[in-house]
Amino acid sequence: MTKKTIAMRPFAGFGNILIRGTNWIGDAVLTLPALAAVRNTFPAARVAVLAKPWVAEVYALCPEIDEVILYRRPGIHEGFAGMVRLAGELRLRRFDAAILLQNAIEAAILSCLAGIPVRAGYGTDGRGLLLTHSVKKTRGLGKLHQTQYYLEMVKALGCREAAKEPSLATTPEHESLAESLLDRLGLTGKRPLIGMAPGAAYGPAKRWLPERFAAVADRLIRDEGASVLLFGSAGDRPAAASVVRNASVSLTDIAGQTDLREAIAVMARCDLFISNDSGLMHLAAALGVPTVAIFGSTNPLTTGPVGRHSVIVRQDVDCSPCLKTDCPTDFRCMKRITADSVLEAARSLLRRRTGKN
C-alpha cells in the first residue's frame, strides 16, 4: 500500500473528528488555539477529545469541543488489553479522522486499532508509517512558543487559525462551587483574593524559594488586606507546607485538597495568581486571572503564560534556561529573584485590575 501524504489526500470533509489530547494540564491549555483552529475549519463536525482524567476538566471547558472521552490509564485501559478495549470503544463511534496532538507512538497505534481511516500528527516517536498525514517536525518548531507548536501542526493539515491566545470560561456551576468552597474556607467576599502555586511537577529547579513566596504573602496581606490561597496537587503539599511555615501571617492551604474542577472554580475568582512555571500558571492565565509567572530553569519564550494580563519575573543568568529538573550548581536563576521584584509585579497587576494608580 502506498503511504498517503497531505499532498495526495487533502485533509478535508470530515464530520466526526477525534483529537488525542496531551497528558499534562499546562500542555492541555497550550493546545487550545489548535483546537479552535480545528473547529474553525470544520464548524459542522462533531469533535471529541480523548484525554486522561486529570486533564479532562480543561478540555471540558473548551467551547470548541463537543465531548471529552476519558482514557482511563491507569485503570480499565491499562496495558495492551486495555488499549484494545479502548480501541473497540472508539471504533463504535466511527470517527473518520484522528488528530494526534500527543506525540507518542501509542496515540498512533490506538487510532490504527480503532480503525480510524485518517490519522494525522507530527511524525515523531517512530510513528510516521502509522499516520496517513504525517507532519514533519522541523528544528525550528522547538524554538516556537508551545501554543504555536501545536497550531503549526494543524495548520500544516490545512486548518485555519482562529485564536491566538488560550482562553477558558467557567460555567454557572463553577460559580456555585466556588461560592461553596470559599464559604467553607471563610473567604466569602474577601478581596483581594490571591492565589499562589509554589510547586511544580517537573522538578525542584522550577520552584522559587518557599520563604520568598511567604515573604510576598506576608506583605500582600499586611499592605493590601489580601487573603492568600495556596494551590497545588498532592505532590505539591510539601512546597505549600513550607510556605505556610515561613509565613508570619495566616495562609489558607488547599494544596492536594481539591480536584481540578474545584481548583479551577476557586482560581477563577482570584484577583491575582503568583506561580512558578506550572500547569496551574497556564490555567490561571487562560482563565483571565492576572498572573505573575516566576521563571528560572525553563524558557518563557516557549512555555510562558499567554495573555496581556501576565507578567514574567526572571533573572538573566548565563546558565538559564537549562531545562534541568535539578540545579547542578548554585540555583542562581531562582536565588537572584527577590521577593521585592515579585511583589512589585504583583502590585502592578493589582493596581491595573482595580484601576488604582
| 165 SS3 class | coil
Question: Concatenated DSSP letters for 244-308?
Answer: HHH-SS--EE-TTSS-HHHHHHHHTT-SEEEEESSHHHHHHHHTT--EEEE-SSS-HHHHPPPST
pLDDT value at position 1?
Answer: 35
Q: Does the structure show a pLDDT above 60 at 29?
A: yes
Confidence bin at 118 (pLDDT 50/70/90): very high
Predicted model pTM: 0.92
Q: Which helix (H) or strand (E) holds 131?
A: none
User: Distances from the Cα of 241 to the Cαs of 62, 188, 248, in angstroms?
Assistant: 33, 23, 13
pLDDT value at position 155?
Answer: 94
| More confident position, 52 or 4 | 52
Q: Which helix (H) or strand (E) holds 97?
A: strand 97-100
C-alpha cell at 276: 512558578
Q: Does the structure show a pLDDT above 80 at 131?
A: yes
Q: Does the structure show a pLDDT above 50 at 2?
A: no
Q: Which domains does the chain have, with CATH numbers?
A: 16-156 (3.40.50.2000), 172-354 (3.40.50.2000)
Q: Does the structure show a pLDDT above 70 at 248?
A: yes
User: Distances from the Cα of 189 to the Cαs of 196, 272, 312, in angstroms?
Assistant: 18, 15, 29
pLDDT value at position 165?
Answer: 85
Determine whether 94 is exposed, middle or buried from the number of CB atoms within 10 Å of its CB (0-12, 13-18, 19+): exposed
Could you give the strand order of the β-sheet that contains 97-100, starting from the edge strand earlier in sequence?
A: 67-70, 46-51, 16-20, 97-100, 119-122, 133-135
Q: How many residues does the chain have?
A: 357
Mean pLDDT of 84-103: 97
Q: Does the structure show a pLDDT above 50 at 4?
A: no
Give residues with Cβ within 8 angstroms of 79, minimum separation 6.
none
Q: Does the structure show a pLDDT above 90 at 125?
A: no
Give residues with Cβ within 8 angstroms of 299, minimum separation 6.
321, 323
C-alpha cell at 357: 494608580
Identify whether the C-beta of residue 333 lies closer than 8 Å to the C-beta of residue 296. yes
Minimal CA–CA distance to 231: which of 223, 222, 240? 240
CA neighbours closer than 13 Å in the CB half-sphere of residue 10 = 6
pLDDT value at position 5?
Answer: 40
Identify whether the C-beta of residue 32 lies closer than 8 Å to the C-beta of residue 286. yes
Q: Does the structure show a pLDDT above 90 at 17?
A: yes
Q: What is the mean pLDDT of the chain?
A: 92
Mean pLDDT of 124-153: 93
